[in-house]
């Protein structure tokens, strides 16, 4: 169905065949989310109804992907503040700081987490300053979290719309990690571009890097693209160079966890290598991300904290021992692609081309 839109601004022809996460019921409710650690073997929806469960879900990657982490953290603020709604304003305010810190400590790299927590905190403080009682503030904070979720969904659709214009019919796209509906509150960032192009009637195929060590590409990207009927082929990360060499890739589209003012981009470990391959093979390298992934406080990549995860993710990859017992392991979860390797950013506000330092500010209205 070329060109049309559904009621939520998404391209007609694309329907999410699953719900990544959603808040159910009122302030006494909970978040129902797909436990992404179990995919693709098992599609299980878990109930997350406390602050600590939400923190653990983010740390353990049951919910993952920068925008989805932001949405989850916003709901996490409601879960964490709920037990304090009977307190006075001062007690509630103090609890807000503690809950925010607890969530912010879950993972360090995706800036959407901090962005969402700060927005929720700002809203809560405003409402308390206006004299609202904590119980009413809690109800308004749930509305705010739902608004963050809905905005993320429309931003994904806008990214898809802008990005789809960059793909010709017949394009073959390489992506790394998972930047799809599983990673956001909507249709994804990098994968939104593919979904929107397909919905507009273009024939698009995808190579998904498997994305060691936790296989977000092999487990998640392939799962959701297959469910949406997109032609997808999984490759081992170390097959990417030869696939580029065979001239099979027309462009790369990836997501991002944090983008600095100068355009340096943190994304899943291995992205930097893919960007270099794209440059050597003269293939465009696009980064798709909403405004909430750009960090005005990071001047460059050196300001982006990189998460180091447990060595056991590498020692016992695929559920089996994959190194000798006790082997030294270096396991950074993200790397930084220098801005000079990025062809353009695909954002909800439009395409941003170099010079990035100037154009990011201009397009995002900083
Ligand atoms: O460790 P993860 O699975 O949370 O890493 C996710 C990524 O690196 C994604 O590419 C990024 O968050 C963009 S998601 C739209």
**Residue-by-residue pLDDT tens, the chain, 366 positions:** 334 555 555 565 678 889 999 999 999 999 999 999 999 999 999 999 999 999 999 999 999 999 999 999 999 999 999 999 999 999 999 999 999 999 999 999 999 999 999 999 999 999 999 999 999 999 999 999 999 999 999 999 999 999 999 999 999 999 999 999 999 999 999 999 999 999 999 999 999 999 999 999 999 999 999 999 999 999 999 999 999 999 999 999 999 999 999 999 999 999 999 999 999 999 999 999 999 999 999 999 999 999 999 999 999 987 899 999 999 999 999 999 999 999 999 999 999 999 999 999 999 999
Mutational pocket test of ligand 1: of 183, 254, 310, the residue with most ligand atoms within 8 Å of the beta carbon: 183
Q: Is the CB of 183 under 6 A from ligand 1?
A: yes
256 Cβ inside 6 Å of ligand 1: yes
Distance CA 163, CA 148 (A): 22
Q: Is 110 in the pocket of ligand 1 (CB under 6 A)?
A: yes
Active site residue: 257, 295, 335, 348, which one?
257
Alpha-helical regions (H) of the chain: 51-59, 66-81, 89-104, 111-129, 134-164, 190-199, 222-227, 240-245, 271-280, 312-315, 356-364
Q: Quick check: is 335 catalytic?
A: no
**What's the pTM?**
0.96
Q: Is 81 exposed, middle or buried (0-12, 13-18, 19+ CB in 10 A)?
A: buried
Closest CA to 180 of 156, 203, 197: 156
Taking the alpha carbons of 151, 157, 160, 162 in that order, is the dihedral positive or negative? Answer: negative
């Amino acid at each position: 169905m070329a060109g049309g839109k559904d009621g939520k601004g998404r391209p007609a022809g694309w329907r999410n065949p699953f719900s990544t996460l959603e808040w159910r019921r009122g302030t006494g409710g909970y978040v129902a989310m797909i436990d992404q650690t179990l995919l693709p073997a098992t599609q299980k929806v878990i109930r997350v109804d406390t602050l600590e469960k939400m923190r653990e879900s983010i740390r353990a990657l049951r919910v993952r992907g920068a925008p989805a982490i932001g949405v989850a953290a916003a709901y996490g603020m409601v879960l964490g503040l709920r037990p304090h709604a009977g307190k006075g304003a001062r007690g509630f305010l103090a609890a807000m700081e503690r809950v925010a810190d607890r969530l912010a400590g879950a993972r360090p790299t995706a800036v959407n987490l901090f962005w969402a927590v700060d927005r929720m905190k700002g809203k809560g403080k405003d409402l308390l300053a206006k004299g609202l009682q904590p119980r009413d503030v809690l109800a308004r904070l749930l509305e705010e979290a739902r608004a963050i979720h809905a905005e993320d969904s429309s931003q994904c659709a806008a990214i898809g719309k802008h990005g789809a214009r960059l793909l010709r019919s017949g394009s073959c796209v390489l992506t790394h990690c998972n930047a799809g509906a599983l990673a956001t509150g909507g249709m994804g960032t990098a994968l939104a571009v593919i979904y929107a192009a397909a919905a507009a009637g273009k024939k698009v195929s995808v190579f998904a890097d498997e994305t060691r060590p936790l296989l977000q590409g092999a487990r998640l990207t392939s799962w959701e693209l297959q469910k949406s009927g997109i032609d997808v082929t999984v490759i081992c990360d170390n097959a990417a160079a030869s696939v580029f060499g065979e001239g099979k890739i027309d462009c790369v589209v990836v997501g991002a966890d944090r983008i600095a003012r100068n355009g340096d981009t943190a994304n899943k470990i291995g992205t930097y290598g893919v960007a270099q391959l794209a440059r050597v093979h003269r293939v465009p390298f696009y980064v798709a991300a909403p405004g909430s992934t750009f960090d005005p406080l990071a001047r460059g990549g050196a300001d982006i904290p990189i998460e180091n995860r447990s060595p056991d993710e590498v020692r016992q990859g695929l559920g089996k021992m994959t190194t000798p017992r006790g082997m030294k392991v270096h396991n950074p979860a993200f790397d930084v692609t220098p801005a000079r390797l990025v062809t353009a950013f695909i954002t909800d506000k439009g395409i941003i081309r170099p010079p990035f330092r100037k154009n990011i500010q201009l397009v995002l209205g900083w």
